[in-house]
Amino acid sequence: MSDNPPLTRAPVASPAEAPESRAAGLPQLVLLLAASCFPVLGAVLIAPVLPQMAGHFAATRGVVVLTPLALAVPALLIGITAPFAGIIADRINRKRILLVAMAAYAVAGTAPLYLESLEAIIGSRVLLGVCEAAIMTCVTTLIGDYWAGHQRARYLGMQTLVAAIAATVFLALGGALGEVGWRAPFGVYAVAAVLVVPMARLLWDPQGDTQTAVARLEPLAWRQILRPCLVTLFGGAVFYALIVQLSFVLTEVGMGSTAAIGGITAVMSLATAVGAGLMGRLSSSSPRVLVPVEFGLAAVGLGVISLSGGAVPVIVVGAVITGFGTGLLLPTLLLWAVNRLTFEQRGRGTGLWTGALFLGEFLSPLLIAAIGAGAGGLRPALGVLGLAAAVMAGVVWLVARSDTHQLR
């Protein structure tokens, strides 16, 4: 076990890896972390106004299905299109794609302010998901380009931390703006356009001109990247489970106060942020140790909720344990996926990982519903998911022991 390379071990730099005599600092970090919030914005901002939207479009056929789809479809599109965004990022220019995606995001995101049909709004959300795929892929790739070693691990952990905090803030903001009207939250998407100018001035693409980028494109090590992506597909479902289901669990056990439910959800988000924030300090550990421990924590937390007997304090403890474990899990999985990639492979590798994560998140509610139908309810379903997380922890541990090149 002592021969495990550390989590932050970076690939040998190619000539393209040279930072063109420029060193990234706080301005670049702030811009990239801010941009990382926009896929979260797409996922949660309009959640509080969905009932109002459904009421406004009550005459629309299939409104019961179409209204939730307006919230969920961006995540599905990220899962489908992020790998293609990664290919384009490696072939063309990370910065250029990011700027175009940010501008298009602002247009697509604010379109429901004036669109008059639910079908058209869903169409705008499809375009929003495509933009989010490009943003998330390019932002994460640029973090990998600009920094290495412990800094890379720390900043990728901060990316998860900022996203967790942003999710809580955006939920509250969406609810507050919903008091004005169901269209009001969509105006927040215009903020993306504000960042385009500072990004154009302060970010750069280390890969240089387009022709050089195409000429040096090299094949992906598929055996190396598919393993973390497959684990991330399941990890995304575990990560998203309580984000979606915790409020239903609390309502099911008799909690009627939306303020109390929001407060407990915020506590879980804080635990997720704390876990992500510790990533930099744990980055010298091998993922063959971290990934099983993180899935194990999620398994314990989900098991506690399943066996809580409806006691709210016990549910809160389970949610905190789960949130802490998944907060550590996401940056660990990302580092596992990208740390062994060269500069020329990093966009495609990051795109595949991003697609796997968001596809897992999209499938999470469907998976819980299917398990719940057979297991006898929501809390038993979470218990089954926790058991599956424990099995995944064991599988990763055993496979890693049998192949020293699997987790590094």
Query: Which residue numbers in the chain have pLDDT < 70?
Result: 1-21, 207-218, 258, 280, 283-284, 401-408
CA distances, 178 to each of 65, 71, 124, 172 (Å): 21, 15, 19, 10
69 phi and psi, to 5 degrees?
-65, -30
Instruction: Determine contact, residues 293/394, Cβ cutoff 8 Å.
Output: no
Sequence-separated (6 or more) residues with CB below 8 Å from residue 327 = 160, 161, 164, 271, 272, 273, 274, 275, 276, 277
Q: Retrieve residue 233's tokens.
A: 């597909």
Tokens 């989590």 sit on residue: 7
Query: Using CB atoms within 10 A of its CB, is residue 64 exposed (0-12), middle (13-18) or buried (19+)?
Result: exposed
Q: Retrieve residue 269's tokens.
A: 């988000």
Q: Retrieve residue 28's tokens.
A: 């670049």
The span from the CA of 88 to the CA of 276, in Å, is 29
The span from the CA of 283 to the CA of 355, in Å, is 24
Amino acid symbol at 284 = S
Q: Retrieve residue 160's tokens.
A: 């998860």
Q: Retrieve residue 33's tokens.
A: 């972390």
CA distances, 45 to each of 97, 172, 187, 263, 296 (Å): 24, 8, 11, 17, 31
| DSSP helix/strand/coil, 393 | helix
Residue 208's pLDDT is 58
Domains of the chain from N-terminus onward: 25-217 (1.20.1250.20), 221-408 (1.20.1250.20)
CA atoms within 13 A on the CB side of 249: 33
The span from the CA of 64 to the CA of 334, in Å, is 36
Instruction: Determine contact, residues 80/137, Cβ cutoff 8 Å.
Output: no
Instruction: Determine contact, residues 86/179, Cβ cutoff 8 Å.
Output: no
Instruction: Determine contact, residues 182/52, Cβ cutoff 8 Å.
Output: yes
Identify the CA nearest to 351 among candidates 124, 162, 92.
92
Instruction: Determine contact, residues 70/53, Cβ cutoff 8 Å.
Output: yes
Query: Using CB atoms within 10 A of its CB, is residue 341 exposed (0-12), middle (13-18) or buried (19+)?
Result: buried
Residue 139's pLDDT is 93
Helical H runs in 1-117?
A: 26-36, 38-44, 50-56, 63-91, 94-110
Instruction: Determine contact, residues 86/135, Cβ cutoff 8 Å.
Output: no
The span from the CA of 359 to the CA of 76, in Å, is 6
The span from the CA of 101 to the CA of 80, in Å, is 16
Instruction: Determine contact, residues 120/97, Cβ cutoff 8 Å.
Output: no
